Amino acid sequence: MEIAYVLAAFLGGLGAMLLRLPPLVGFLVAGFALNLLGYELTPTLETLANLGVTLLLFTIGLKLNIHTLLRGEVWAGATLHMVASSGLLILLLSLLKFTGIALLQDSDWQTLLLLSFALSFSSTVFAVKILEERSESQSFYGRLAIGVLIMQDIFAVLFLTASTGAIPSPWAVLLFLLLPAAPLLRILLDRVGHGEMQILYGILLALVLGYGLFEAVGVKGDLGALIIGMLLAPHAASHHLARSLFHMKELFLVAFFLSIGLLALPTWDLVGLSLLLLLLVPVKSVLFLLIFSGFRLRTRTSALATLSLTNYSEFGLIVAALAVSQGWFAPEWLVVLSLTVAISFVLASPLNATSERIYHWLDRFLPSVPPERLHPADRPIEIGDAQAVVMGMGKIGRGAYQRLQDEYGLRVLGMDNDAAKVNRLRSAGYEVIAGDAVDSDFWEKMITCAQVRIVLLAMPSHHGNLYALEQFRDRKFPGKIAAIVEYPDEIPILREHGADVVFHVYEEAGLGLADSAAEAAGLRR
């Protein structure tokens, strides 16, 4: 039976890729297909799905600066949206009772209140996965969306604690001892190195110290994994640990998306109700857009953060399961919400894939904020007098920066979308700015600088490099462009889009190693 799950997930993911959709859409469809064929959610699959969500929240914490949650657009934006969307949704659900659908007609105010609360949440799993696939989780709009999602997770914990009547154990107060213990956890991260011990240490922290310890004292385990990750976030190796756990987390999340489709098989009436609930998604989106715009953010930031949050959340399933167990919901609601959440993921995928086009369309209708009044983190980027620009200041980008500056005497400017990395590099003496390579406003500012002769695309995201090349081509950039790729099949694609030079990372590293060895041995070409 496990073979059928693996085969279905692979075929579903492959089919989605052929249709230019994220693989997770295929995993969701595969889950429904398995359900239709009579397969059920097994304890093993459910355990793997829970592991995926726990590791996801742990890796989010590893990349999260606690100050992000303290920003007004995050905590106030999330709170305002929760209150406003719950109020509007309960009003619209009350109107939908007149559609004649029995399940709605039989619902009292308590049921509608719970439904509106559950539908006001957005999916952490979906949004973070989309952001990571586009390498935009550290962009300004990405950090805004993740911050709002974490605030929603906190609201979820408060709700679950209050609704179940399960008060955390008195021992839960001892969890505050994790704060003074955090330096010790970071020291151990140094000691375990970069191999399998680092991965094992990360799993130990996420599942035992995070999930297990918090559950033992009556606090939501997923929140524990997130908090432990946040305690490690200031460490320089936290991002490397997140990368080490990346593929394991991705594999477990396949089980999560399969499990949604395996929860229940709906009838046509329940499908119709799910489609009605999907019509309420734009209400959430409009509210997010209005609230974000109220914090003096650019249209692009507000629009892309909104699109990341335009879906329903797996938390709705948790609410439904709790409500059914307490006798507040009819069991059919669990089926409806399972289908609604899954279809919202399917619809949100192409929306996020075309997010830049949607932003440009919205930009024609929404009022813009003058640059001097914009949020400080969202103001236009100044290129200055740079002659060369390095986009992506990882190890390769930093090496290229030094070479252009030291050997060729160029004025070099680095750019990265990770604000924390930018601050570290500035402290080390680099001229570097925080900027998003897929931010069209950034390109408008940069391309007008005629003195820029060379651009190096050293970003880890093929999507980001490709988008950058498209921007250069559209604006007829006269300088030279070099780019890096991780996979050989990406080389002709970048060349077709205007790259003058494309380097395959591993091949060029091998050539450089051989040249260095030959030079040391006194050999000449």
Are residues 455 and 342 part of one domain?
A: no
Confidence of residue 95 (pLDDT cuts 50, 70, 90): confident
The more confidently predicted of residues 227 and 379 is 227
For residue 288, the Cα-to-chain-centroid distance in whole angstroms is 17
Burial class (CB in 10 A: 0-12, 13-18, 19+), 392: buried
3-state class percentages of the chain: helix first, strand second, coil last, to nearest 5? 70, 5, 25
Is 254 domain-assigned? yes
- pLDDT, tens only, 177-206: 888 888 998 888 888 877 788 889 989 999
| pLDDT at residue 448, as a whole number | 53
Is 453 domain-assigned? yes
Is 242 domain-assigned? yes
Q: End of a domain among 313, 334, 363?
A: 363
In whole angstroms, what is the distance from residue 287 CA to residue 284 CA?
5
Are residues 394 and 354 part of one domain?
A: no
| pLDDT at residue 11, as a whole number | 93
Burial state string for 268-282 with b = 16 or more CB within 10 A and e = fewer than 16: eebeebbebbbebbe
520: left (phi over 0), alpha (psi -120 to 50) or beta: alpha
Q: End of a domain among 363, 395, 415?
A: 363
- pLDDT, tens only, 315-369: 776 677 667 767 777 777 877 887 888 788 888 888 887 887 888 888 888 777 7
Are residues 384 and 320 part of one domain?
A: no
- DSSP calls for 92-144: HHHHHGGG--HHHHT--HHHHHHHHHHHT---HHHHHHHHHHTT-TTSHHHHH
Please compute Rg for the chain using Cα positions: 24
- pLDDT, tens only, 226-283: 889 888 888 878 878 887 887 888 888 888 888 877 876 677 777 888 888 898 899 9
Residue 80, pLDDT above cutoff 90: yes
Instruction: Judge whether 449 and 386 are in contact, CB under 8 Å.
Output: yes
| pLDDT at residue 14, as a whole number | 92
Residue 380, pLDDT above cutoff 60: yes
Confidence of residue 309 (pLDDT cuts 50, 70, 90): very high
Q: Among all chains, which residue has been given the structure tokens 């005497």? A: 409
Are residues 325 and 449 part of one domain?
A: no
Is 502 domain-assigned? yes
Is 373 domain-assigned? no
Q: How many domains is the chain partitioned into structurally?
A: 2
Is 433 domain-assigned? yes
| pLDDT at residue 71, as a whole number | 83
Confidence of residue 84 (pLDDT cuts 50, 70, 90): very high
The mean pLDDT value for 61-77 works out to 80
The more confidently predicted of residues 168 and 177 is 177
- Residue type at 455 in one-letter notation: V
Are residues 258 and 350 part of one domain?
A: yes
For residue 89, the Cα-to-chain-centroid distance in whole angstroms is 26
| pLDDT at residue 450, as a whole number | 67
The mean pLDDT value for 372-389 works out to 74
- pLDDT, tens only, 258-269: 887 787 667 777
In whole angstroms, what is the distance from residue 501 CA to residue 483 CA?
6
- Residue type at 342 in one-letter notation: A
- pLDDT, tens only, 455-486: 888 887 777 788 888 877 777 778 888 888 88
Is 371 domain-assigned? no
Are residues 448 and 348 part of one domain?
A: no
Are residues 460 and 510 part of one domain?
A: yes
Tokens at 173, concatenated: 């107060």
- Residue type at 104 in one-letter notation: L
Where helices occur in 174-267 by DSSP H, the ranges are: 178-191, 196-203, 213-216, 221-232, 238-244, 246-262
Task: Give me the phi and psi of 73, to 5 degrees please.
Answer: -65, -20
Are residues 392 and 308 part of one domain?
A: no
Residue 46's CATH number: 1.20.1530.20
Q: Domain range for residue 307?
A: 2-363
Q: In 3-state terms, what secondary structure has residue 184?
A: helix
Are residues 306 and 395 part of one domain?
A: no
To the question of pTM greater than 0.75 for the whole model, the response is: no
Q: What is the mean pLDDT of the chain?
A: 81
Q: Among all chains, which residue has been given the structure tokens 């995070």? A: 210
Share of the chain above pLDDT 90, in %: 5
Is 387 domain-assigned? yes
Are residues 168 and 34 part of one domain?
A: yes
Instruction: Judge whether 419 and 356 are in contact, CB under 8 Å.
Output: no
**Residue 492: how many other CB atoms lie within 10 Å:** 11
Residue 412's CATH number: 3.40.50.720
Beta-bridge mates of residue 416: 434
Task: Give me the phi and psi of 221, to 5 degrees please.
Answer: -65, -35
- Residue 480's H or E segment, with its range, is strand 480-485
Are residues 423 and 328 part of one domain?
A: no
In this structure, the strands spanning 432-434 and 454-457 are unpaired
Share of the chain above pLDDT 70, in %: 89
Are residues 387 and 349 part of one domain?
A: no
| pLDDT at residue 162, as a whole number | 65
- pLDDT, tens only, 412-453: 888 887 777 888 889 888 988 877 766 655 665 555 566 788
